[in-house]
């Protein structure tokens, strides 16, 4: 989460050179960080219950969303470097 | 006791989501510690991918007086592309490891390790050649 916040702050450094499209990158990164922050208590609770019950379902949705956010940030970043 | 019978203190099977049923079919739930360890490894790869994304942005934003524009853009694209591939690769690796654990099969070799090593070496070679040639 903190890494995403840091990356979103670094994206802002591009604002003077590339203009408003950077806000899209900032929004994707910051929204992902916010999503992780606001769901971490629930995920921690589910994980600790899973350890106690010796049964825990893999959180496949969270993994796929996080990976998708990384791919989106990379693709948008490349677009900005090549086009912007 | 046959294979179908469960011991009295066995945990009740939970209904998994449609995505989980589709992407992680068959087998049985591994030890939760292993599942969580797999998730931690995935998050470590994601951190590496985010560091590469930040590095790509930093090269493009901060080195305009150091590198020529094509070199600067090339390096930034290599780092951003690598970050993107690592992000996707880490999810694929998480999935493959989770499947192996469910089916009690040997763990797969990490394909993203040679990818990261090769692309890191390529980026370092580009910088080295540029510094020597300059």
For residues B37 and B32, what is the distance between their CA atoms, to the nearest angstrom?
A: 8
Q: What is the pLDDT of residues A34-45, one digit of tens each?
A: 999 999 899 889
Inter-chain CB proximity A17 and B61 less than 8 Å: yes
User: Å from B134 to nearest chain A CA?
Assistant: 23
Give kind and range of the element (H or E) at residue B51: helix B32-62
Q: What is the ipTM, given to two decimal places?
A: 0.84
How many angstroms separate the CA atoms of B7 and A2, rounded?
44
Nearest-Cα distance to chain B for A60, in Å, is: 6
pLDDT tens per residue, range B25-68: 888 888 889 999 999 999 999 999 999 998 888 888 888 787 88
- Asked if B79 and B123 count as a contact pair (C-beta separation under 8 A), the reply is yes
**pLDDT score of B4 more than 50:** no
Secondary structure letter of residue B27 according to DSSP: S
pLDDT for position B63: 80
**Is B77–A56 a contact, with Cβ atoms under 8 angstroms apart?**
no
Residues of A in contact with B56 (CB under 8 A): 77, 81
pLDDT of residue B13: 52
Global confidence as pTM: 0.82
**pLDDT at A12 (0 to 100):** 87
Residue B125 contacts A where some CB pair is shorter than 8 Å: no
Phi-psi region of B26 (alpha: psi -120 to 50; beta: other; left: phi over 0): left
């Amino acid at each position: 989460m903190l890494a995403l916040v840091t990356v979103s702050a670094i994206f802002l450094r591009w604002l003077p050179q590339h203009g408003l499209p950077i806000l899209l990158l900032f929004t994707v990164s910051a929204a992902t960080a916010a999503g992780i922050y606001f769901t971490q208590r629930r995920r921690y609770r589910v994980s600790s219950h899973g350890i106690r019950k010796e049964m825990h379902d893999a959180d496949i949705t969270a993994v796929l969303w996080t990976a998708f956010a990384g791919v989106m940030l990379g693709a948008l970043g490349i677009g900005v470097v090549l086009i912007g | 006791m046959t294979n179908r019978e469960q011991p009295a203190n066995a945990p009740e099977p939970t209904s998994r989501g449609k995505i989980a049923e589709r992407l992680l079919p068959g087998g049985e739930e591994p030890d939760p510690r292993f599942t969580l360890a797999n998730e931690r490894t995935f998050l470590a790869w994601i951190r590496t991918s985010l560091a590469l994304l930040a590095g790509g942005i930093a090269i493009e934003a901060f080195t305009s007086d150091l590198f020529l524009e094509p070199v600067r853009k090339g390096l930034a694209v290599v780092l951003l592309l690598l970050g993107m591939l690592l992000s996707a690769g880490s999810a694929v690796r998480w999935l493959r490891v989770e499947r192996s654990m469910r089916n009690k099969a040997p763990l797969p070799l990490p394909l993203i390790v040679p990818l990261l090593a090769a692309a890191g070496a390529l980026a370092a070679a580009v910088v080295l050649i540029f510094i020597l040639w300059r």
